[in-house]
Amino acid sequence: MIPLDTSDTLSAFGHDPVWIVIIKAVAIFLILVLLTLFNIWWERRVVARMQHRIGPNVNGPFGLLQSLADGVKLALKEDILPKAADKWVYFLAPVIAVIPAFLTFSVIPFGPVVDMFGVETPLQLTDMPVAVLFVMAIASVGIYGIVLGGWSSGSTYSLLGGLRSSAQMISYEVSMGLALVAVFLYAGSMSTSEIVAAQDKFWFGLILAPSFVIYVISMVGETNRAPFDLPEAEGELVGGFHTEYSSLKFALFFLAEYINMATVSALATTLFLGGWAAPFWIDEFWAGANSGYWPFVWFMGKVLFFIFIFIWLRGSLPRLRYDQFMHFGWKRLIPISIIWTIAVAVIRTINLNGGFDRGYLYAAIGVLAGLALLLFFVGEKTDEVEEPGAEEEFDAFAGGYPVPPMSAATTWNTSTAVTTSGEGS
């Protein structure tokens, strides 16, 4: 495989004129807004096809302007302020949720060094030695917007939705962070541009497949998307943390959710699928595949692949129960992530110290795989099945309050029902 252009490293940043930086920032903003409008339309079309419906097809060609029409409709709706709401926090929460969603894209590499209006500059706003940690930290700030929005609404449903969301997102950030440690160990850097350059031979999604799978599962939980959309479970919480929001403030929460989908997808592309590098190693027979603005096309194609996974899961899987979801995160994903991280660290250390015996390596991998399977399948507490006829006699007045029994057989008398219906008639 032809090596990527590694000149796009940390030394290439910090030299752009101010007007180039402004152009890059505005371009990122426009890309994210347009990508959000497209993703909403695409989700509706894909889910409609899965459910044998047509989906939006009226406003604009193929219904592409339906999302824009919905945005205008939200802006023109009445803005309602609940009486019990904390006014300033209520207004500030959607802003806190949406601003970090935009900021995270400032360190995402869209391509190599290009000629932009006569200036040689990386197709990336900025980079830093700890860029991935910057993304994780800024994304964590967005949780405050959701929690404060639920608390400030003065509604029990919103409060429960905010609490669910904070517990869920913090829990799955742990497994997501552990999945990234293996990437840092192999790349030797936390800079996004250097991680892309380190995948010039093999994508980390191939050689670090367990980390890739754990990250994909965690990013669905992190973004509150189905089947992990427990904070927005309409069957229990009406709408969750944004129940009391309307008009533009609700639109900001909606925008933050879709931009966060794009953020985790862009981060997965950067860390596991070679970033802006040409897929399927097209550059082996096309020398210009990784130069100019073509890498931006490859990058967006990979991001849309992950967006399609989000849509596919929403249209295919039912919502999990909340305790099952948290149990899966803490007792499955996190232990497996820790074991895999230790294995990668040991292998990297042995490699850097002069090699290893492959027989010992295969034995260690077998032991780790066995431990992972043991954690996954063993240790579940099964409920004991009661013998038929072992049920105690129901006492309707136990505890001082008359409570009807659960079993219909103990309360329904056919002759009484017939007599009662005859008297009523």
Q: DSSP string covering 104-171, please?
A: GGGG---SSEEEETTEEEESSS---TTHHHHHHHHHHHHHHHHHHHHHHTT-HHHHHHHHHHHHHHHH
Report d(CA 307, CA 124) in Å as an integer.
21
pTM, to two decimals = 0.81
Both tokens of 183, joined, read 């990437």
Return the pLDDT at 410: 46
Q: Which residues of the chain have pLDDT under 50?
A: 1-8, 382-386, 408-425
Radius of gyration of the chain (CA): 26
Return the pLDDT at 423: 45
Degrees (nearest 5) of the Cα angle 195, 287, 111?
Answer: 35
Both tokens of 236, joined, read 């229990």
Return the pLDDT at 13: 83
Return the pLDDT at 390: 52
Domain definitions of the chain by residue range: 10-316, 321-378
Return the pLDDT at 5: 45
